[in-house]
Structure formats: structure tokens, C-alpha cells
Amino acid sequence: MSREALGMLMLGLLVVAIFVGFPTAFTLLALGFVFAWIGFGWGLASDLMVSRTFFVMSNDVLIPVALFIFMGYVVERSGILDRLFGAIQVAMGPVRGSLALATLATCTIFAAATGIIGASVTLMGLLAMPAMMRANYDVKLSAGVITAGGCLGILIPPSVLLILYGATAGVSTVQLYAGAIFPGLVLSTLFFLYVVVRTLLDPTLGPPLPKEERDFPVGQIIRMLLTSVLPISALIFFVLGSIVMGWAAPTEASAMGAAGALILSAVYRRLNRHTLTASIFDAIRTSSMVLFLLVGSSLFAAVFALLGGSKLIETFVLGLNLSPTGFIWLTMLIIFLLGWPLEWTEIIIIFVPLFLPLLPHFKIDPLWFGILVAVNLQTAFLSPPVAMAAFYLKGVSPPSVLLSDIYWGMMPFMILQGFGVLLVFLFPQLAMWLPRLLFGG
């Protein structure tokens, strides 16, 4: 069997193993090592295993992954989200759809404090879903708002996805963060406008908060907002602002963010031994999973390239004689479909690198491509039949909330996110203006 055929066999076995349910990281390591041994012998296989592991573990670009994940878990357990949602809920009470709008506002702010999607959807499901059901909100609208808003952390910095894409594609994480800010805000704005229009057209979908639940003195409402919005906004500003403005590297900013999250948790009197140990344990577990995936992917990609698999795919795609537009939409379709059965980590680490070598041929900026991929993956996160956001919400919702209700509620927001992908494609300046303003080029 030729080496190119070995490479394609290796890729095929990987896809089968993932769909069967084998652990992805160990599957990548095993296939990479075994096919390197078959194709080049024991010596090269051993050398590649060691060198690829050392390359990933010595990459300082990945240090913020662990620190941002830790920051997210601390913020999750600090009670900040409870206060934030309560304050915004009361402040927006007289407005139609106020609970849905408060949910979106809370999700947008929380996304800028942590990129942990499962935590965002689960926490908002616990906080917002019972409140909206008590207020006789439409179940589908409520589910759509929580799942779509909870997924904003995929795109809005400090997104772990963007860190991994930057490490994989060799793109500056700082510029990716700058490029993702406006597309993330555009998506959040589209969600807000949709809720406003729907509740204006049909007030029964989202009635205002009952007067007795928002009957607070103006001074108390202002104090609630100041004590909930200002602290988390300050944390976001110091972390993201320091990165985007060039005051601190992502590693330094992530360390500052983790320290700031601990300080906020202590101020809110939620920092104790249980909170700290649980946050550390969850951060280590999640970070280890991501880094194991990166080591396996690095080995797999190196062996796949040596066997000629990457060149074979490149030759095939170039043989299609696609225009840059055709190539973009082909990759977006593939990534969208992969988002049904796979987690975004597997897509970013395993499949996106297959397309990266083709970007120079089509004269596509890898930074812009990365933002498109992030928006697209956010869309895939809401797409049935898998739609992990739906399962996160279903797990914490009352039994009366059916999975079919959640699916139907997500559909309009999935369409809006597809429109967001189109906007970033048609108007690249949404993603490119701020990085060029701050960093030139």
C-alpha cells in the first residue's frame, strides 16, 4: 500500500473511531503512532511522539487556556451571574420581553468573562427558565434565548476556541480577540432585535415583569446594577482591554483575570475551600482534555503530512477549480456539518488544519477565516440533531419542557447566526477593522 493510501486510511479510521465514540485524544495518539510505525519504522514513530508532545507542552501561547478556564469556573461559582441577572431583570422589568432581554444581556456579559459554553447554558437554564415560565413566557422563545445567548462564549473573547485556532493556524491570539469583538456584538444585537420585534408583534410571548416583582425604589435598582454590573465589567475591561490595547500579553492578562475572579468571589463572600478546590479540579480536568487533544492532533497531523495525505487533499480541492468564494462556502458547509456530531475542540484541532494550507492559494486572510469558523461553529452548536446546547438546557429544565420545544426555539436564532456568518463574509471589515486599526497591516 502506498504512503498516500495509508494516510487516507488513517483519516478514515479516525472518522469512524470518533463516530463510534472512542476517546478522541487517545485515538489520535494511537493512530498517529501506529501509522508512523507502519510507514516509517519504530525509530521515527518514537521520535515524532516525543517531539510533538514537547512542541505542544512548551508552547507558551497555550498557557492562557488553563488560566481562562480557571477564571471561568471561579466566576461561575462566585454568584456573580445570579446578581447580574437579578439586577438587569428588575431594571428592564417594565419592557415587553424583559426577562428574555435580561437573559441575553447577562449571557453577553458572562460570555466576556468565561468561554465555557456548557456552564453558561446550564446556569442560565437554572436561573432564567423558571423565572420565564413563572411569568408565562413562551417556552420556545425562552429556550432559544438561553441556548443562543449561552453559546456567545464560543466567539466573544476570551474565547478558548480562538486561542486554539491561533495556536493551530499561527495567528496572533491578540488580533483574533480584536477581530471577534464586533462580530460577537453584532450577533448579540441581532438576538436582542429579534426578541424585541417578536414581543412587540405578539405581547403574549413575553409579557412585562409583574409590578410586584419590580417594585423597587430607583436608588435601590441603581445600587443593584452598580454592585453587579460594574465589578464584572471591570474584570472584563482589565482582561480584554489590556490584551487588545497591548498593555499585557494574553498570558499576563489571563493570570490577572484569574486573580480578579478570585478577588470578586472573595468580595461576594463565596470564596471558600470547596469553591476553590472545585474550580481548580474542573480547570485541570478541562485543560488536560484540551492539551491531550492538541498533543494527539499534532502527532496525527505530522504523520498525515509525512504520508502525503495533506498534499492529496490539497491537490483534490485545487482540482475542483473553485473560486475563493466557492472554497470559503465549501469549508463552511463541511465545518457546519461536522458541528452536528463533534465538539468544537475536535473540529478546530483535527479538521480545520486540513484547510489552512490552502488559504494562501486562495489569498484568504487566516484571521478573517478564523472568525468565520468561530461564528459558523456557534451556529453548528445550535443545530439538530445533536445541538449540545439543547441537551445542556434540557438537563436543568422542568420535565414539562420538551426537547422538541428547545429545538424549535433554537431555530430562529440558528437562522440569525447563519445571517451573522453571511454578514462577516460580505463585510470582512466587521472582523478586520479593529485588528488593522490597532496593529496595522
Structural domain including 304 reads: 3-439
For the entire predicted model, the pTM comes to 0.82
Q: How many domains does the chain have?
A: 1
**Average pLDDT score, the chain:** 84
- Kindly give, in sequence order, each residue whose CB lies less than 8 Å from that of residue 149, ignoring residues fewer than 6 positions away: 103, 104, 106, 107, 108, 111, 120, 124, 188, 191
Q: Is the peptide bond before 324 cis (omega within 30 degrees of 0)?
A: no
Return the pLDDT at 49: 87
d(CA 368, CA 109): 24
pLDDT tens by residue, 302-359 = 888 888 877 777 788 878 888 999 999 999 988 888 777 667 777 888 788 888 888 9
pLDDT tens by residue, 80-94 = 777 787 788 788 878
User: Quick one: pLDDT band at residue 151, thresholds 50, 70, 90?
Assistant: confident
Instruction: Calculate ∠ Cα 339-304-380, nearest 5°.
Output: 5
Contact predicate 370/163, CB 8 Å: no
pLDDT tens by residue, 280-313 = 998 888 888 878 888 888 888 888 888 887 777 7
Mark out the alpha helices in 151-172 (DSSP H runs): 160-169
